[in-house]
Amino acid sequence: MTEITTAATCDCPADATENVEGVIVTGHLMTCSLGEPRRYVWRDGGDLQLGTLADYARTWERGIYDDCREELSAELRTWDEVYQLTVESLGTDDADWMRYRLVVANEAVLVGIDGRF
């Protein structure tokens, strides 16, 4: 099967939102093959890591607590694409948790950081 497409070719509603393995995927239903979270490679210090955005978010979260965030690359790559991570701050909630949304293209992961540290 040769499938080289530049545009998504499926019938999913554009506002479809699914939470798949901790990754919020927009634009595809869970039943769609494009709705599966992408697997990325990124650099963490001297290592290359492989995983979904949810895995990346766990590393990112640890980096905040350990204060070594600059070790972690904000560039996530797939086989043929390079994606740039966007971090959106959603503010602090009543329990002093700082809420962030890590976004890569149509994928997002919500992260809470305990602000009392």
Smallest CA-to-CA distance from 29 within 18, 44, 45 is with 18
> Does position 38 bind Zn ion by CB under 5 A?
no
Nearer to Zn ion, 31 or 89 (CB): 31
Nearer to Zn ion, 33 or 89 (CB): 33
> Does position 10 bind Zn ion by CB under 5 A?
yes
Instruction: Confirm if 52 and 35 have CB atoms less than 8 A apart.
Output: no
d(CA 112, CA 100): 6
Question: How many CA within 13 A on the CB side of residue 85?
Answer: 22
Minimum CB separation from Zn ion for residue 35, in Å? 6
Task: Candidates 34-42, 43-51, 70-78, 106-114: pick the segment binding Zn ion (CB under 5 A).
Answer: 34-42
Instruction: Give the helix ranges, DSSP H, for 1-117.
Output: 53-66
Nearer to Zn ion, 13 or 91 (CB): 13
- In this structure, the dihedral spanned by the alpha carbons of residues 24, 92, 42 and 38, taken in order and rounded to 10 degrees, is 0
Binding residues for Zn ion, total number by CB under 5 A: 5
Minimum CB separation from Zn ion for residue 93, in Å? 33
> Does position 34 bind Zn ion by CB under 5 A?
yes
Nearer to Zn ion, 13 or 46 (CB): 13
